[in-house]
Amino acid sequence: MTFCLADAVSMRLLATRLDEAAGEITRLQGGSVTAGLPLTAPRELAHYEGPLRELVEWCHSSAADLRRRAAVAAQADLIERGPFAGASPYEALKSAAAGGVDDELAAFDRLGADGDAAAFFAGLTPGRALAVALARAGEVGARAGVPFELRFAANRHLVRLALAEAVRVGDGAAADRYTKLLAPDRQLLLFDPRGAGRIAEVLGDLAAATSVAIMVPGTGSRLANYLRGAGADLRNVHESTARMSRGASATIMWVGAELPSGLGAAALRFHAERGAPKLREFTEGLALQPDVRTTLIGHSYGSVVTGHAVKAGLHPDNLIAVASPGWGVDFAAELNAPKTRLFAMRHEGDVIKLVPPVDDVMSVMGIVPPTSIAGHGSDPVYLRGVERLPSGGEPTLGVDMHAHSDYFGHSTASHVATWNIARVVVGEAGR
């Protein structure tokens, strides 16, 4: 790794020297080299104004290129040497820094947002594909069409960079979180530490799974609490689906859009309407085979997001609302997904049952909000055409303040809830 660091230092030093040389030429030419002004330098240099201008431009562009390569070279120091399809991440980054995949990087950049990433990577050797994926990790990690293993590698690299930054600024909590996300069994399809953060993690073999579930968590979910919240729920649900399917299932937790941070914001549709297109794009971008059974599971406000995504054209085989304030519809037919089987689950003591539709409350108060702002429609549990799944909760007329978060844990009730969700995911429900 010392070799790579030395390269990075040398590249930055040479870039600085090139910029200094360009500045000195510009000074001698009285500004005419870059600005095209009349020469104020000795008259005999006028003949060289054009070539000198080209030399200045070359110095600046070469310096910028060297700094880009230096950044990649320095990143190689964060990579543990380990095999990946015949080439380690360390060697891949070193190759990218040295110019070994310049043509491939240029071709990838020319693809644009709508280019065929699948075809592009299919035409590369494993080593070159990995080098491109790591050198362009920010674009590759979340891109549809990129092979899953390359997305995992790109997002792993992004986590390493985030860890390095957390250590640099002394953010111990973030450093601990990112260290845990670098565990060998973590497979990330999305990672972005900016703001509230974005993450999508998959358990199981996504490429070979016959059943795939995509979960969306509720209010307050963000990257900072992912490991002890949504990430833990993911593992509990996947444990049940994997056991029931004998390893033929994959489970994804998607926190790919900002969710409400509190109850006040959770009453609004804003987050669901902004998140739904992203969820649809993410799910369709997985390009699963038509015979793969797909299930969307939304918990609390996450169910609002899934409902809006289905209304927007995402049509999974199953849609499950867990402790839901609503799918954003008053009638199941408004989802416009006649082939999607609809399920809902709620503990009898879940406080969500006491939350009436926001638009009804506002109407009582004499307020008529625009339908696009507040309210989530009717409770899915009571919608015609929706099958209610047993949650394992005890029958009660009262309220259990802990029930709302007790569907994917290790209590007796959540074990029953998770098992019944798994039955839907693997196609056992209704048999």
The 8-class DSSP code of residue 324 comes to -
Average pLDDT, the chain: 85
In this prediction, residue 47 carries a pLDDT of 65
In this prediction, residue 2 carries a pLDDT of 39
The span from the CA of 177 to the CA of 163, in Å, is 8
Burial 105-128 (b: 16+ CB within 10 A, else e): beebeeeeeeeebeebbeebebbb
Burial 74-87 (b: 16+ CB within 10 A, else e): bbbbbbeeeebeeb
By the 8 A CB rule, do 145 and 181 touch?
Answer: no
Task: State the Cα torsion 311-198-422-338 to the nearest 10°.
Answer: 10
Residue 126 has pLDDT above 80, yes or no: yes
By the 8 A CB rule, do 53 and 59 touch?
Answer: no
Residue 362 has pLDDT above 50, yes or no: no
Confidence of residue 44 (pLDDT cuts 50, 70, 90): low
Q: Tell me the mean pLDDT in the region 302-328.
A: 94
Q: Tell me the mean pLDDT in the region 113-140.
A: 94
Candidates 1.10.1060, 3.40.50, 1.10.10, 3.10.450; CATH matching 194-425: 3.40.50
Q: Tell me the mean pLDDT in the region 404-430.
A: 89
Q: Tell me the mean pLDDT in the region 225-235.
A: 96
In this prediction, residue 394 carries a pLDDT of 72
Higher pLDDT, 49 or 198: 198
Lowest-confidence segment of 31-35, 130-134, 245-249, 310-314 by average pLDDT: 31-35
Sign for the CA dihedral angle at 406, 425, 181, 288 comes to negative
Among candidate residues 324, 333, 316, the one with its CA nearest the CA of residue 424: 316
Task: Give bridge partners of residue 341 from the DSSP assignment.
Answer: 318
Residue 363 has pLDDT above 60, yes or no: no
In this prediction, residue 265 carries a pLDDT of 61
What the block records as the tokens of 417 is: 């809830």
In this prediction, residue 234 carries a pLDDT of 97
Residue 14 has pLDDT above 90, yes or no: no
Radius of gyration of the chain (CA): 27
What the block records as the tokens of 12 is: 């930055």
What the block records as the tokens of 84 is: 């990946």
In this prediction, residue 148 carries a pLDDT of 97
Of all residues in the chain, the percent with pLDDT exceeding 70 is 83
In this prediction, residue 130 carries a pLDDT of 94
Residue 271 has pLDDT above 50, yes or no: yes
Query: Phi first, then psi: what are they for 292, rounded to 5°?
Result: -80, 125
By the 8 A CB rule, do 70 and 97 touch?
Answer: yes
Among candidate residues 296, 300, 329, 332, the one with its CA nearest the CA of residue 315: 296
Residue 406 has pLDDT above 70, yes or no: yes
What ranges in 206-328 are assigned the alpha helix state H? 230-245, 263-266, 270-285, 301-311
The span from the CA of 177 to the CA of 279, in Å, is 24
Among candidate residues 219, 222, 283, the one with its CA nearest the CA of residue 252: 283
Task: For the sheet with 341-345, list strands across it.
Answer: 188-192, 198-203, 249-255, 211-216, 293-299, 318-322, 341-345, 386-388
Confidence of residue 368 (pLDDT cuts 50, 70, 90): very low
Of how many residues is the chain composed? 431
The span from the CA of 149 to the CA of 153, in Å, is 6
Sign for the CA dihedral angle at 351, 327, 225, 149 comes to positive
Q: Tell me the mean pLDDT in the region 20-39.
A: 63
Q: Is 402 exposed, middle or buried (0-12, 13-18, 19+ CB in 10 A)?
A: middle
∠ CA 44-45-48, nearest 5°, is 130
The 8-class DSSP code of residue 385 comes to T
Domain range annotation of the chain: 2-140, 194-425
In this prediction, residue 364 carries a pLDDT of 42
Higher pLDDT, 54 or 253: 253
Confidence of residue 266 (pLDDT cuts 50, 70, 90): low
In this prediction, residue 358 carries a pLDDT of 46
What the block records as the tokens of 144 is: 């549809």
Confidence of residue 375 (pLDDT cuts 50, 70, 90): low
Place of tokens 């289905």: 310
What is the tens place of the pLDDT at every residue in 150-193? 999 999 999 999 999 999 999 999 999 999 999 999 999 999 99
Instruction: Return the HEC string of 153-171.
Output: HHHHHHHHHHHHHHHHHCC
Confidence of residue 285 (pLDDT cuts 50, 70, 90): very high
Among candidate residues 214, 209, 206, the one with its CA nearest the CA of residue 297: 214
Among candidate residues 361, 213, 375, the one with its CA nearest the CA of residue 295: 213
Residue 30 has pLDDT above 90, yes or no: no
What is the tens place of the pLDDT at every residue in 47-101? 667 777 788 888 888 888 778 777 777 777 776 555 454 458 888 888 888 888 9
Confidence of residue 370 (pLDDT cuts 50, 70, 90): low
What the block records as the tokens of 137 is: 């990790």
Kindly report the number of other CB atoms within 10 A of residue 365's CB atom.
8
Of all residues in the chain, the percent with pLDDT exceeding 90 is 56
Higher pLDDT, 90 or 252: 252
| Global pTM value | 0.84
Q: Tell me the mean pLDDT in the region 379-405.
A: 82
In this prediction, residue 392 carries a pLDDT of 83
